[in-house]
Amino acid sequence: MNKLKLWLEQTMMISFAILVGIILEGLAYCLLGGAPLASFSLTWLQLLSVVLTGALCSIPTLIWLQDKEYTKKQFLVSIILHCLGLYVIVSLFGLVFKWYTQIDGFVMMTIIFFMVYVFVWLVTLWFHKREDNRINEALDEIRDEE
Protein backbone atom coordinates (compact mmCIF):
# COMPACT_ATOMS: atom_id res chain seq x y z
CA MET A 1 0.00 0.00 0.00
CA ASN A 2 1.21 3.48 -0.75
CA LYS A 3 2.86 4.90 2.40
CA LEU A 4 1.27 8.33 1.95
CA LYS A 5 -2.18 6.79 1.54
CA LEU A 6 -1.67 4.65 4.64
CA TRP A 7 -0.42 7.66 6.62
CA LEU A 8 -3.45 9.77 5.60
CA GLU A 9 -5.82 6.90 6.30
CA GLN A 10 -4.32 6.34 9.75
CA THR A 11 -4.26 10.07 10.52
CA MET A 12 -7.95 10.45 9.67
CA MET A 13 -8.98 7.34 11.60
CA ILE A 14 -7.00 8.29 14.70
CA SER A 15 -8.19 11.91 14.65
CA PHE A 16 -11.82 10.85 14.12
CA ALA A 17 -11.63 8.27 16.91
CA ILE A 18 -10.08 10.79 19.31
CA LEU A 19 -12.88 13.26 18.55
CA VAL A 20 -15.49 10.57 19.17
CA GLY A 21 -13.73 9.76 22.46
CA ILE A 22 -13.80 13.44 23.48
CA ILE A 23 -17.50 13.62 22.61
CA LEU A 24 -18.21 10.52 24.70
CA GLU A 25 -16.18 11.96 27.57
CA GLY A 26 -18.14 15.21 27.45
CA LEU A 27 -21.41 13.33 27.29
CA ALA A 28 -20.41 11.15 30.25
CA TYR A 29 -19.49 14.21 32.34
CA CYS A 30 -22.81 15.86 31.49
CA LEU A 31 -24.90 12.77 32.21
CA LEU A 32 -23.09 11.98 35.44
CA GLY A 33 -23.72 15.46 36.81
CA GLY A 34 -20.35 16.97 36.02
CA ALA A 35 -20.03 20.03 33.86
CA PRO A 36 -23.19 21.40 32.25
CA LEU A 37 -23.59 20.70 28.54
CA ALA A 38 -23.12 24.36 27.60
CA SER A 39 -19.71 24.53 29.31
CA PHE A 40 -18.21 21.75 27.17
CA SER A 41 -16.44 23.22 24.14
CA LEU A 42 -13.32 22.75 22.04
CA THR A 43 -10.95 25.48 20.95
CA TRP A 44 -9.14 25.58 17.63
CA LEU A 45 -5.90 24.68 19.45
CA GLN A 46 -7.47 21.55 20.93
CA LEU A 47 -8.79 20.52 17.52
CA LEU A 48 -5.37 21.17 15.98
CA SER A 49 -3.75 19.07 18.71
CA VAL A 50 -6.09 16.18 17.85
CA VAL A 51 -5.10 16.29 14.17
CA LEU A 52 -1.40 16.64 15.07
CA THR A 53 -1.69 13.66 17.41
CA GLY A 54 -3.29 11.61 14.64
CA ALA A 55 -0.55 12.60 12.19
CA LEU A 56 2.29 11.93 14.63
CA CYS A 57 0.85 8.61 15.82
CA SER A 58 0.56 7.45 12.20
CA ILE A 59 4.32 7.68 11.65
CA PRO A 60 5.32 4.82 14.00
CA THR A 61 2.66 2.69 12.34
CA LEU A 62 4.26 3.27 8.94
CA ILE A 63 7.65 2.29 10.33
CA TRP A 64 6.22 -0.70 12.19
CA LEU A 65 4.19 -2.03 9.24
CA GLN A 66 7.16 -2.91 7.08
CA ASP A 67 6.83 -5.84 4.68
CA LYS A 68 8.60 -8.13 7.09
CA GLU A 69 7.69 -11.57 8.35
CA TYR A 70 7.32 -11.83 12.13
CA THR A 71 7.14 -14.85 14.36
CA LYS A 72 4.18 -14.86 16.73
CA LYS A 73 6.40 -13.79 19.61
CA GLN A 74 8.03 -10.98 17.58
CA PHE A 75 4.61 -9.83 16.39
CA LEU A 76 3.23 -9.73 19.94
CA VAL A 77 6.28 -7.88 21.26
CA SER A 78 6.15 -5.38 18.41
CA ILE A 79 2.43 -4.70 19.00
CA ILE A 80 3.06 -4.11 22.71
CA LEU A 81 5.99 -1.78 21.94
CA HIS A 82 3.91 0.01 19.29
CA CYS A 83 1.03 0.50 21.74
CA LEU A 84 3.29 1.71 24.55
CA GLY A 85 5.17 4.07 22.21
CA LEU A 86 1.93 5.61 21.00
CA TYR A 87 0.67 5.83 24.58
CA VAL A 88 3.76 7.83 25.55
CA ILE A 89 3.27 10.16 22.55
CA VAL A 90 -0.40 10.71 23.35
CA SER A 91 0.30 11.21 27.06
CA LEU A 92 2.93 13.84 26.28
CA PHE A 93 0.60 15.58 23.82
CA GLY A 94 -2.10 15.53 26.49
CA LEU A 95 0.26 17.13 28.96
CA VAL A 96 1.52 19.78 26.52
CA PHE A 97 -1.93 20.67 25.17
CA LYS A 98 -3.58 20.42 28.61
CA TRP A 99 -6.04 17.69 27.69
CA TYR A 100 -5.91 16.81 31.36
CA THR A 101 -4.82 18.69 34.46
CA GLN A 102 -5.80 16.19 37.14
CA ILE A 103 -5.54 12.44 37.59
CA ASP A 104 -9.18 11.80 36.60
CA GLY A 105 -8.52 13.51 33.27
CA PHE A 106 -5.42 11.38 32.76
CA VAL A 107 -7.40 8.22 33.53
CA MET A 108 -10.10 9.28 31.03
CA MET A 109 -7.43 10.04 28.43
CA THR A 110 -5.94 6.58 29.03
CA ILE A 111 -9.32 4.89 28.55
CA ILE A 112 -9.93 6.88 25.36
CA PHE A 113 -6.43 6.01 24.10
CA PHE A 114 -7.02 2.27 24.40
CA MET A 115 -10.49 2.55 22.85
CA VAL A 116 -8.97 4.48 19.92
CA TYR A 117 -6.10 2.00 19.60
CA VAL A 118 -8.47 -0.98 19.35
CA PHE A 119 -10.82 0.90 16.99
CA VAL A 120 -8.00 1.88 14.62
CA TRP A 121 -6.64 -1.68 14.58
CA LEU A 122 -10.05 -3.15 13.79
CA VAL A 123 -10.79 -0.64 11.03
CA THR A 124 -7.31 -1.03 9.53
CA LEU A 125 -7.67 -4.81 9.47
CA TRP A 126 -11.12 -4.45 7.88
CA PHE A 127 -9.73 -2.08 5.19
CA HIS A 128 -6.90 -4.50 4.37
CA LYS A 129 -9.25 -7.49 4.28
CA ARG A 130 -11.61 -5.59 1.97
CA GLU A 131 -8.71 -4.65 -0.33
CA ASP A 132 -7.45 -8.26 -0.36
CA ASN A 133 -10.94 -9.44 -1.32
CA ARG A 134 -11.07 -6.95 -4.21
CA ILE A 135 -7.69 -8.12 -5.49
CA ASN A 136 -8.77 -11.76 -5.23
CA GLU A 137 -12.00 -11.02 -7.11
CA ALA A 138 -10.07 -9.27 -9.87
CA LEU A 139 -7.69 -12.24 -10.11
CA ASP A 140 -10.64 -14.62 -10.26
CA GLU A 141 -12.17 -12.61 -13.10
CA ILE A 142 -8.90 -12.74 -15.02
CA ARG A 143 -8.67 -16.50 -14.47
CA ASP A 144 -12.28 -17.00 -15.63
CA GLU A 145 -11.59 -15.13 -18.86
CA GLU A 146 -8.61 -17.38 -19.71
User: Which pLDDT band, with edges at 50, 70 and 90, does 35 fall under?
Assistant: low
Q: Could you tell me which of 82, 33, 93 has the C-alpha nearest to residue 59?
A: 82
Stated pTM of the model: 0.76
Provide the residue range defining the domain that includes 51: 2-142
Give the span between the Cα atoms of 27 and 140, in whole angstroms: 48
Number of domains in the chain: 1
Task: State mean pLDDT over 64-78.
Answer: 79
Q: Residue 110 pLDDT > 90, yes or no?
A: yes
In sequence order, which residues have a C-beta less than 8 Å from that of residue 49 and are 6 or more positions away?
93, 96, 97, 99
* Cβ pair 14, 87 in contact under 8 A: no
The pLDDT, as a whole number, for residue 40 is: 66
Q: Could you tell me which of 1, 106, 98, 5 has the C-alpha nearest to residue 58?
A: 5
